[in-house]
Chains A and B, each alone.
Chain A
Amino acid sequence: MWIAYKTIVTKEILRFVRIWIQTIVPPVITTSLYLLIFGGLMGGRIGQMQGVDYLDFIVPGIILMTVIMQSYANTVSSFFMTKYNNSFEELLVSTTPNWVILLGFVSGGVCRGLTIGLAVTFTISFFVEIQIHSFIVIGITFLITSVMFALAGFINAVFAKTFDDISIVPNFVLLPLTYLGGMFYSIDILPSFWRSVSIFNPIYYMMDAFRMGFLGVGSVELWKAFLVPCIMIIILALIANRLLSRGVSIKTE
């Protein structure tokens, strides 16, 4: 099982590294533009947010958004492609258990999130001096965020029938949730109604914890910020494993 797991993860890493111009370069360019526009040009006029400079405030959000989008994109595109070119049959005829397949694809998503997250952090370091409050909090938040969105991407890929189906969720669900999860602002500045709405957005908790890890400031207690995504991970993992076991959209019914 360990060999099968290692094989899937290696294959996944090679896949996104092989197409680095599509996977690594665009987020780095987007990040630079975000920092230039929101941080450099507009940040000075906004002043401070939660007691820190605006440019420093948006840095954790930009990194976490990259991790979310990349973890999701890796599993959704990779698993969909294995369905599309029927290469998933290579796994179906093998002795690899379903949970190892799932773990392998999710780990691939986590690796892409980490690789591109680090590339983006490195790029940001040219624009701003990055502060680190707690490596442990940053590490835990990164891990649970990437696992959760890699799982979500996997489930999306199971149901996807066309290439359109794999881009709908990232564009129409993930991106708005990320923006509304406090990436560019603290939810403390929102009217009470919208503040109440925000607490149902799981990305808000991750964003808050990640910012705590970098800047030491946050609105939510850390245990709550970790608990919400952990519950989501358990639910998503159970759904994904069930879908694989039943062969939904993989084995012809």
Chain B
Amino acid sequence: MTLALSTDSLTKIYSNNLEALKGVNLRVEKGDFFALLGSNGAGKTTAIGIISGLLKSTSGEVKINGLDQNKHANEVKKMIGLMPQEFNFNPHEPNMEILMNQAGYFGISRAEAKIQAEVLLKKMELWDRRFDVAQSLSGGMKRRLMLARALMHKPSILILDEPTAGVDVEIRKSMWDYLTQLNKEGMTIILTTHYLEEAESLCRNIAILNDGDLVEQTNMKKLLLKAKRQVLILDTIEKLTNNISIADCDCVVIDDTTLQVAQGENTSISDVILSLSAQNINVSHLRSSQNRLEALFLSITS
């Protein structure tokens, strides 16, 4: 297994004695789409800050593509692209200049940077706004600008801290598509998000931080298998009576044509539909009452 990122016993104690990370051992494979989840204050942003060089760790080791962050600082910085949670650009600068400057800080020539900036601004649908100052952009546009900036020096690892917060559904979908494409092209992506369906649909592996501790690090599919009971909401064609029953499931009639079914451990969705069909009830629509990852996340972190 080739690792894009590994941390060993990473700890961070702030000057106010807040222990934000308590010996975290993270492992992210090359080419992975990795979710780093945790509730507010769990230590995600601190971990990302240390990995990207914005913060100093108290102790522990960070390796990027096998290189020690402290011994090979410049090589490591070239490998990482960071899109932070908070807007951190000069709002009075034109968008194009923000990207060109970032490339310049990495020693990329203006001619080369111009080409890359054009590609990224077009991809982010910001090309028409390239001469506008950043403060004139909407929240979603500012996020896309930060994503473009993080990609200016063509990093091999992209770290995204809440990338789609405040972004509308349409743009979020196009950002997901773009991130998926980057990942398919070989880029390792580490994502923190509060939208758990985003992590579920994009990421292959997952780690969960809780109060500075790494409480889970596994494959997304394996984790989701732990979600034994799923609560389904079914819309039925026929009117429901109060005596609906499905083996190994708990059923609650919500209204005339809406049924809530808590799936048993050994019951499949097909079993539920077949059982209802046997009772002359046909299902028109089906949805989960709660995201599976969300349910697991809450059970792990609570």
A interface residues with partner B (beta carbon < 8 Å): 1, 3-4, 6-8, 11, 14, 18, 81-82, 85-87, 89-96, 247, 251-253
Contacts and interface: CB of A to CB of B under 8 A. Distances in A.
30 contacts: A1-B107, A3-B108, A3-B110, A4-B106, A4-B107, A6-B104, A8-B104, A11-B93, A18-B92, A81-B90, A85-B88, A85-B91, A86-B86, A86-B87, A87-B89, A87-B90, A89-B84, A90-B88, A90-B89, A93-B52, A93-B53, A93-B77, A93-B80, A94-B105, A94-B106, A95-B105, A95-B107, A252-B14, A253-B14, A253-B56
A86 to B, nearest CB: 4
Nearest 3 interchain pairs by C-beta: A7-B104, A94-B105, A86-B88
Contact of A90 (B15, B49, B102): B102
B109 interface: yes
Interface in B127-156: 149, 153
Contact of A96 (B49, B54, B105, B110): B105
A18 B56 CA distance: 35
A85 B146 CA distance: 14
In this complex, the interface size class of chain B, counting residues with CB under 8 Å from chain A, is: 35 or more
Contacts of B52: 93
Given A87-B89, A90-B105, A95 B78 contact: yes
A85 B105 contact: no
Contacts of A85: 87-91
A244 to B, nearest CB: 14
Contact of B104 (A3, A14, A18, A82): A3
B300 interface: no
A196 to B, nearest CB: 44
Given A94-B77, A253-B14, A253-B56, A89 B88 contact: yes
A251 B107 CA distance: 23
Contacts of B49: 252
Chain B binding surface SS class = loop
Interface in B112-129: none
Contacts of A96: 105-106
B244 interface: no
A74 B18 CA distance: 36
Nearest to A81: B90
Nearest to B13: A253
Contacts of B105: 4, 7-8, 90-91, 94-96
Contacts of A86: 86-88
A251 B54 contact: yes
Nearest to A96: B105
Nearest to B133: A18
Interface string B45-78: 0000100111110000000000000000010011
B82 interface: yes
B165 to A, nearest CB: 16
Contacts of B53: 92-93
A93 B89 contact: no
Contacts of B100: 7
Nearest to B15: A253
Given A85-B89, A87-B89, A95 B54 contact: no
Contacts of A4: 104-107
B101 interface: yes
Contacts of A93: 52-54, 77, 80, 82
